Structure 1
Amino acid sequence: MANCQYTQLQEYVRLVGPWCQVNIGSCRFMLGQCYLATGEGQKALRCFQEAANEAEKEEFLMKLTGAEDEEAAPTARLQYYNKVLRLLEDVGLPELVIQLSTLAITEAAGDASSQAALWTRIFKHHLDLGHNSEAYEALTQNPDSSMQLDCLRQLVVVLCERSQLQDLVQFSYVNLHDEVVNIIESRARSLDLLSHNYYELLYAFHIQRHNYRKAGTVMFELGMRLGREVRSRAGLQRQVNCYLSALNCLRLIRPEYAWIVQPASGATYERPGASPKRNSDGEFSSEPEHRHVDILELKDLEKEYILSRSRLTLAQHHPPSAAIAGSAAAVEMVALLVQTGLFDSAISLCQTFGLTLAPVFEGLTFKCIQLQFGGEEVQNEAWSWLAVNQLSTVVNTKESSATDEAWRLLASYLDRFSSRGQHHRHVITKLLSHGVPLPDWVTSAYKLVDAASLLRLYLNFDLLEQAVELVLEWMEAVQGKGHQYFGIQ
């Protein structure tokens, strides 16, 4: 019935058109609505455009747009366009909305507010249609900075949800670069790490523009958050990848500029992006200044990378540790690695952070004691951590037990990392404190480098017979008999 009425109205307008020249604009407007009802959008748009010329003259059209008084008459045409645009939006014709909005912009040459609203409308419909480039162009044409920022924020969010990140990264963002970064940073820091990839987007954004320092900063921040918020093996793997990416970014920068600024909690600094080690001229300053920021250079990122890799290694070999490893400091990690039997990783971590190897030698010595007095179950469990530390030399045969391999591992560590016998003392102290007789190879090695310390240890543990025997051997060595066993020339 409705379509029949619209058809009758169309026929009426056609019949009166040749001879009736009154209210032509109103007739064209009504005909345009008929075409909309019958699904002929382009014909409707043509009629609406023809009616626009009479929007400031005909009573019906002025009432339609609310421009009846004289003050509103100059804006009657713009109000008419807004009325038609709402009609087109109501029936779901975004392409026609874009066409008419583009035409209306020329009519609003002196009205910045109307132009901003029209460009916003064009942006919205281009974005809904998936015309990303056209939406970006409409955004850049918007004269209202507030509306422009709203459109930019919507563009970032929508393209991220659609996973159309290539378009988002490649836009030039002339005069909008900082705003884009702020929007992405804000969303990256406020949303769940596991369900959104805004950090990766920001990293790609900076890489696209060859800003490797900022790209490295983004990856380092993501790695830190993963350590605090994602306490799992997968989170630790992502943390390792993040720190490696940050490390690679700094390696692409000249050494004197290979640093990033990590603001401390609640701190601010005056010149964002400037090195706190340099003055306003970019030169190194010899005068210490109190600044609430941490400067991370290449060596610092290398340390964080090795620490994160140690955390991942621990989680791979002992999954329950993943929950506490993510935020563990280097000293804590050494203790966890030693407890799990990952001595190679513990030594590497100690060397990287300049920590003492004493916990490693004490921990390995204690495991040797446990194996020596433990049962078959302890022996079987030991093969797993022994293989991790010395896979190429471990030989699981009838002639070689897990206890033998553990002692051999300890001996190899003493040869490699205790050139002056500084760690023999920790091993001997641990053995004597548990009442375990000292292996001959331990005492022989320690006599060679520091017989006096060995004597003091004997006396501290009331081993008088061993002390006397050591003194007698020493006296003979001084006289020339067996001097090579005490390192006497």
Structure 2
Amino acid sequence: MQIFEQNSMREGACQFALAALEQVDSIVDLDNGSEVEDLPETTAMIKGRLWANVFKYSLDLKNFRDAYCAIISNPDDDSKYVCLRRFIIVLCELGETKKVICNGEIPFTGLVEKVEQELFWKAERSDLSSKPNLYKVLYSFEAYRNNWRKAAGCMYRYFVRLSREGEAGGGRQLTHVLQEKLHALSTAINSLQLVEPSCAWLDSICEADDQISPSKKPRNLLMENSAFGTDSELSTLQFCVDIEILEKEYTLTEALYMLSTVNSKSKFSESYSIEALTDILVNENLYDLAFTIVLKFWKESGMKRELERVFAAIAQQCCPNRVGNSGRNLTDTQQLLLLPSSEDDGWDGNSKTIAVAHQVQGSCQWETLELYLDKYKDLHPRLPVIVAETLLYTDPEIELPLWLIQMFKTTKGGNRMISWGMSGKEADPAALFRLYTNYGRHTEAASLLVEYLDSFASSRPMDVLHRKKMSAAWFPYTTVERFWCQLEEMQGFGHSADQCDRLKKLLHGALMNHLQQVVVDSEDILSSVGGGQGAESQSS
């Protein structure tokens, strides 16, 4: 065989080894179960060495199926497993793993577990940028055999290594790493969904992690986030990763990927909390991702708190005159009217560009706010109150949009909440009236109150009976009294005295009419009760 090999005649060397194997049986007395005493080695060792040579020359000739047959024919276990390891290494180096290992061309009968061990061992010690990616090879190997839980574990392990080792490069490298992490997580999630629910979980700690310095282990935002609550839940997370955890990891990774694709001055780092990540997403107008994180990581009161914070941030972006706005303030006319589009107008080119950009951006922000508020107000009915208060606090001169005011005046079905006073859910006309009063919007407050007082007095005939029932309607009388005191105080200091006097007269007239209507309704109720009692006494 050495002579054949020295002359690069591997086919001849392979045939010589096969011929030698045929001669082994003629030397050994197999019928009696005894072996020739003069042989320095056992029959298994001789056959094992010869089959190893057959494997070596077949592999050199790229006859992979013959090489596999040589492995499974080898009676020496030590030699067989050495050949198997060499077989996998050469296939990886030649890029033949997909063709030979993953598509089932070679069954690896009785060797599946050993192949898994060898692939995983090599994957753990390979560079993440090497081709082919051995984690993906191992995933394909398991997926072909419908071992979906093991397949998911391979991709999750790939994600863990990417988190630990893959983010050392620049911006372009980081974007590629985040793409790979998204691919790994989505593949792991899809694989686990094919497993029985009771078995759809993974170990988060791998034996290979024991060799890693604790200072170099990846920082897991999920484990450190308070949304998981108790310490027992955190300790469970260290040993078990289910689909829900993987989906949360995917959401965070997707957010980081989107941030890496935008030209942002403020980049997210792992030293920030998930709340800080949400703020950055809102600042970059990535609202869908921000709301996805809120809904994924918080429940009940925590979710409502985070929704309030996100909507407050979006509402602040709608205020052109908010504190800290570095843009040039436009006049009211420029903010409200469309700018002329012809080139022969009297506008300066630079000024027109700034004004148009400001108007388009502001219009988009209002549309975005309306879209998401209408979408999420059912989850948290108080959101319109938060948005209105944020707008009034941020810009004292801002006019609340009509669609926002209508959210206070209408029910979920779109019906107006006027007939029965100003009561309702958390975002009701009384809440809007309180906001107007708190932020000194006296004209709007007076108009709103008078509107509802007049509507209550002019109920439809079919609603009169309901109006006369006890506690049928409610008005924020305490807030009305405070509003009246504010008008008197401003009038006493001489601030807008004429306007305050006009509002007081309007409010006084509406209140007097309302109180007279209440007196009439009360007398009608008493008379109806008295008449009913008199009829009963006569009948008795």
> How many residues of Structure 1 are paired with residues of Structure 2 in the alignment?
361
Q: Which residue of 1 aligns with 2:127?
A: 192
Q: Which residue of 241, 265, 280 corresponds with 1:336? A: 280
- Structure-1 separation of matches of 2:265 and 2:86: 42
Cα separation, 1, equivalents of 2:207 and 2:182: 27
How many angstroms apart in 1 are the aligned matches of 2:382 and 2:185? 34
- Provide the residue aligned with 1:345 in structure 2: 289
Identity %: 25
Please point out which of 161, 181, 206 is paired with 1:239: 181
- Letter of the structure 2 residue corresponding to residue 361 of structure 1: F
1:313 aligns with 2:258: yes
Shift of 1:296: 3.7
Listed as ranges, the matches of 1:347-366 within 5 Å are: 347-354=291-298, 355=303, 356-366=306-316
Q: Secondary structure at the match of 1:134?
A: helix
Matched, 1:168 2:127: no
Query: Is this contact kept in 2: 1:185–1:202, CA < 8 A?
Result: yes
CA distance in 2, matches of 1:208, 1:152: 20
Choose which of 244, 256, 262 in structure 1 pairs with 2:203.
Answer: 262
- Report the CA distance between 1:207 and its aligned residue: 1.4
Distance in 2 between residues matched to 1:214 and 1:445, nearest whole Å = 51
Alignment of 1:71-470 (within 5 A): 85-105=1-21, 106-107=23-24, 110-165=42-97, 166-169=99-102, 170=104, 171-196=106-131, 197-231=133-167, 232-257=174-199, 259-264=200-205, 294-318=239-263, 324=268, 331-354=275-298, 355=303, 356-369=306-319, 373-375=325-327, 401-419=360-378, 421-431=381-391, 434=394, 436-441=396-401, 442=404, 445=407, 449-450=427-428, 463=439, 465-466=440-441, 470=445
What stretches of structure 2 of length at least 5 have no aligned partner?
29-41, 168-173, 210-232, 331-354, 410-423, 460-472, 476-540
CA separation of 1:375/1:413 partners in 2, compared to 1, >3 Å: closer, same or farther? same
- Over residues 325-348 of structure 1, what are the superposed CA-to-partner deviations in whole Å (9 max), with x where a residue is unaligned? 799875453222112111122123
Closer, same or farther in 2 for the Cα pair 1:296/1:399, shift >3 Å?
closer
CA 482–417 in structure 1, closer or farther in 2 if over 3 Å, else same: farther
Asked if structure 2 preserves the Cα contact closer than 8 Å seen for 1:264 and 1:292, the reply is: no
TM-score for the superposition, normalised by structure 2: 0.56
Q: Which amino acid aligns with 1:248?
A: N
Q: Distance in 2 between matches of 1:397 and 1:438?
A: 19
Give the CA RMSD over aligned residues: 4.1
Which moved further from structure 2: 367-376 or 206-215?
A: 367-376
For residues 126-151 of structure 1, give each alpha carbon's deviation from its aligned partner in whole angstroms, at most 9, with x where no partner exists: 11111111111111222332322222
* Equivalent pair of 1:428/1:438 in contact (CA under 8 Å): no
Q: Which ranges of structure 1 fall in alignment gaps of 5 or more residues?
A: 1-84, 269-287, 379-395
Q: For residue 369 of structure 1, give the secondary structure of its aligned residue in structure 2.
A: coil
Is contact 2:433-2:449 (8 Å) kept?
no
Alignment of 1:28-43 (within 5 A): none
CA shift digits 1:437-463 (9 cap, x unpaired): 45334567458725666677678xx74
Amino acid at match of 1:439: E
The alpha-carbon deviation at position 483 of structure 1 amounts to 11
Deviation at 1:266, TM superposition (A): 6.5
Shift of 1:260: 2.6
Counterpart CA distance in 2 for 1:229 and 1:377 is 48
Once residues 116 and 123 of structure 2 are traced to their aligned partners in structure 1, the CA distance between those partners, rounded to angstroms, is 10
The letter of the residue matching 2:191 is C
Q: Give the whole-Å Cα distance in 2 for the aligned partners of 1:483 and 1:445.
A: 22
Structure 2 residue identity aligned to 1:316: T
Q: Per-residue displacement from partner, 1:163-186 (whole Å, max 9, x unpaired)? A: 112112322222221111111112
Instruction: Using the TM superposition, give the Cα deviation of residue 467 of structure 1 relative to its aligned residue in structure 2, in angstroms.
Output: 7.8
Are 1:116 and 1:142, in contact at CA under 8 Å, matched by a contact in 2? yes
Q: Is the 8 A contact 1:261 1:293 kept in 2?
A: no
Rate the CA distance shift 1:246–1:292 in 2: closer, same or farther, 3 A.
closer
What is the SS of the residue equivalent to 2:155? helix
Counterpart code for 1:337? L
2-structure distance, mates of 1:235, 1:243:
12
